[in-house]
Structure 1
Amino acid sequence: MYLFLSPLVVVIAAQVSTFSLQDLYVLWDHLRFNLISVIVCSALLVFLSTVYFLTRPRPVYLVNFSCYKPNDDRKCTRQIFMERSRLTGTFTEENLEFQRKILERSGLGESTYLPEAVLRVPPNPCMAEARKEAETVMFGAIDELLAKTSLKPKDIGILIVNCSLFNPTPSLSAMVINHYKLRGNIISYNLGGMGCSAGLISIDLAKDLLQIHACFKLSLPYGGAAILLSNKRSDYWRSKYRLVHTVRTHKGSDDKCFSCVTQMEDPKGKIGVALSKDLMAVAGDALKTNITTLGPLVLPMSEQLLFFATLVGKKLFKMKLKPYIPDFKLAFEHFCIHAGGRAVLDELEKNLQLSDWHMEPSRMTLYRFGNTSSSSLWYELAYSEAKGRIKRGDRTWQIAFGSGFQM
């Protein structure tokens, strides 16, 4: 609409500026005797203006967010973890040695947290303990967010809660509604089984809903973060960020991608999550597809031209050229990459050609809190804020991926 109207307005203004006073009188007489033309033109202008204002996307603001921090008694060093694993009596010495090696290479520090049910001897992973943990994390994050924003629970119009593995009945979203006595006409969603990417999927869903409903939205990725979004223009001044683009990629139609992260039982009937050896290759392929869509939206024209020239040279002229990897550091100042593990971060650092400075928030989140699933991105953003890295006008790219395979 801007591209269409701007040249038209310039041409009209330039033409009018050349009119003499006599010309303006002649024009007025002409319009006065052509009332139908004036009415039609005015109606067309009003119609186009109305269509534009009704169809333009509403801005979506991230007012604020909070990350849950457990109590110090939930901290678990590597030594304590290995001692508790040995006391359970379910692992062989070979299993324990393998577990120790994985722990040393994981990138986790000595102050990460575990829930009470897992630290007990023997562990007690029952439904009651899972509900207790969920309530502690969710309500803790929401209480802090409400205090930061001075928001009343009754003002929340959309609630989205996501959790990959724990999906009780009543749902987690119903637990939040009951605890905070949210209003009866609230639009509520509970996302489950969508992996570590579910936090950003919640944001994408909220963005679409906020184009229709004028209200606040509270997104709660399980694992410790609560996010408040708003489409009210009056919230522009108090919001921390503005949501600009969301790009989703789903590789579930490919069998190898679909089965690379699967919840299943082992031969002894123990339920766990199996990770395929193809996981890194699948994640790399999904990232490639995702940035192909995202690139034209955010990259400067110079990077797009280089990418296009390389593609034409390879496909059209059969030239032996290396694939050109765009420099996304020209589009973003900060990167929040899901802290799923050290190997994942190493691979993305190499593929995106990022520096240690860019990777620090993700690595420190993994070291301090471990893999907190979909909420890890918000711990990383909080780290960047706490270090004073983010300045007005900076752009941040949050990258998450999960079972399915999707990102």
Structure 2
Amino acid sequence: MPPYRSLHAAREEAELVIFSAIDDVFGKCSVVKPQDIDAVVVNCSIFAPTPAFVDMIVNRYKLRPDVRNVNLSGMGCSAGLVSVGVAKNILQVAPPGTHVLIVSTEILSSQNYVGKEREMLLPNCIFRMGAGAMILSNSPDHARFKLGRVVRTTTAARDSSYRCVFQEEDKEGHLGVRLSKDLLVTAGQALKSNIAAFATHVLPASEKLLVAVSLLKRALARGKVRVRLYRPDFRTAFEHFCIHAGGRAVIDDVQRGLGLSDADVEASRMTLHRFGNTSSSSMLYELAYIEAKGRMNKGDRVWMIAFGSGFKCNSVAWECIKPATGAGPWADCIHRYPVRLPEVAKDV
């Protein structure tokens, strides 16, 4: 059965997932009504219709005429954390009691690749539609999480990074997204740059000291003796990790690079298994998994890491104030997780 790739089908998909996510967040945050929303930030990388998604939301929920709107497109799977950064900037200069609605989604109907090139077929296999919504406020009343440091880095100045995830037409004129074979290498470079900027703000003094000592030893050795730099233990700064579920290899590489355990990346693996790569909203599914398992406690710290086209790597730190009581999108299946994932066969 051929996929529906029309504009009408894409709009229907958008309304289905976006309105469902917003209805859910208003249902859980009963003290905030649509008329209390002061700004809307929406991100969707591939599908950017006119009028924009923010206008669609204003129309559906009859928001105030003075509501401020921001619509982000083309920023890939990291755009959800970009939206958080935009909302934070708005709230820092807004009067107390301001509310910002954030919606992260990816709409795939109109972008299904029908060609034959392998590098452009892969997105068809791993990407799935999805959406998540949250309300941020500069008033602590009724808040469930406290937003901490937001760090964004980009490597787009390098040509290889810029073209690593690239929307284009193939030789036969079929539109799709090409994933470069150098994706993991590029992601690793972006992660290193991001960690260098993020770690100084979140690591405890003991870990910073160990890093400084290893750097000093290397400097004193002057290349005569190989000195391995100390890899900081981020588990001293965070209890939970939400790594973008971009693919099994991506999660594996981040796990090895940060020295995390299988339990630390369980939420990412299970989200990829159950929902696929839902792009910018995947970390909200992962956060919901941790809460559905009853593992989130007051005072726990969460590190969200996202990668996106460009190539970008973004990090956001959260602190839990009040854990959720429901299972969210995992309500019908959380009892089956975690599941054992099969080993990936490798060509000899």
The reply to whether TM is greater than 0.5 is: yes
- Partner of residue 314 from structure 1, selected from 199, 218, 227: 218
* 1:330 and 2:211 aligned: no
Letter in 2 for 1:164: S
* 1:275 and 2:179 aligned: yes
CA displacement 1:80-105 (0-9 Å, x = unmatched) = xxxxxxxxxxxxxxxxxxxxxxxxxx
Q: Larger Rg: 1 or 2?
A: 1
Task: Decide whether the 8 Å contact of 2:103 with 2:133 is kept in 1.
Answer: yes
* 1:177 and 2:177 aligned: no
Letter in 2 for 1:302: S
- Partner of residue 401 from structure 1, selected from 291, 307, 320: 307
Pairwise CA distance, 1:254:
1.1
* 1:390 and 2:270 aligned: no
Aligned to 2:5: 125
Aligned to 1:265: 169
CA displacement 1:148-195 (0-9 Å, x = unmatched) = 111211100010000000000000111111111111111100000000
Pairwise CA distance, 1:306:
1.2
- Partner of residue 199 from structure 1, selected from 80, 86, 105: 80
- Partner of residue 224 from structure 1, selected from 118, 131, 156: 131
Task: Decide whether the 8 Å contact of 2:153 with 2:312 is kept in 1.
Answer: yes
Hey, what's the Cα distance between the residues in 2 that align with 1:315 and 1:177? 57
* 1:209 and 2:90 aligned: yes
Pairwise CA distance, 1:298:
1.1
- Partner of residue 67 from structure 2, selected from 186, 193, 197: 186
Pairwise CA distance, 1:362:
0.3
Pairwise CA distance, 1:302:
1.4
Hey, what's the Cα distance between the residues in 2 that align with 1:159 and 1:198? 14
CA displacement 1:237-265 (0-9 Å, x = unmatched) = x2111001101111111111111110011
Q: Alignment partner of 1:224: what SS?
A: strand
CA displacement 1:50-89 (0-9 Å, x = unmatched) = xxxxxxxxxxxxxxxxxxxxxxxxxxxxxxxxxxxxxxxx
User: Identity over the aligned pairs, expressed in percent?
Assistant: 52
- Partner of residue 261 from structure 2, selected from 355, 359, 378: 355
TM-score by length of 2: 0.80
Hey, what's the Cα distance between the residues in 1 that align with 2:183 and 2:230? 24
Letter in 2 for 1:144: D
Letter in 2 for 1:401: F
TM-score by length of 1: 0.69
Hey, what's the Cα distance between the residues in 2 that align with 1:256 and 1:313? 34
Pairwise CA distance, 1:130:
0.1
Unaligned ranges ≥5, structure 2: 106-129, 314-348
Deviates more, 1:295-304 or 1:183-192: 295-304
Pairwise CA distance, 1:316:
4.4
Letter in 2 for 1:225: G
Aligned to 2:342: none
Aligned to 2:248: 342
1:7-22 correspondence to structure 2 within 5 Å? none
Hey, what's the Cα distance between the residues in 2 that align with 1:260 and 1:323? 29
Hey, what's the Cα distance between the residues in 2 that align with 1:316 and 1:130? 60
Letter in 1 for 2:159: D
Task: Decide whether the 8 Å contact of 2:91 with 2:138 is kept in 1.
Answer: yes
Hey, what's the Cα distance between the residues in 1 that align with 2:252 and 2:174? 31
Letter in 1 for 2:133: A
Unaligned ranges ≥5, structure 1: 1-120
* 1:249 and 2:153 aligned: yes
Hey, what's the Cα distance between the residues in 2 that align with 1:177 and 1:364? 34
Task: Decide whether the 8 Å contact of 2:221 with 2:227 is kept in 1.
Answer: no
Hey, what's the Cα distance between the residues in 1 that align with 2:169 and 2:229? 41
Letter in 2 for 1:190: N
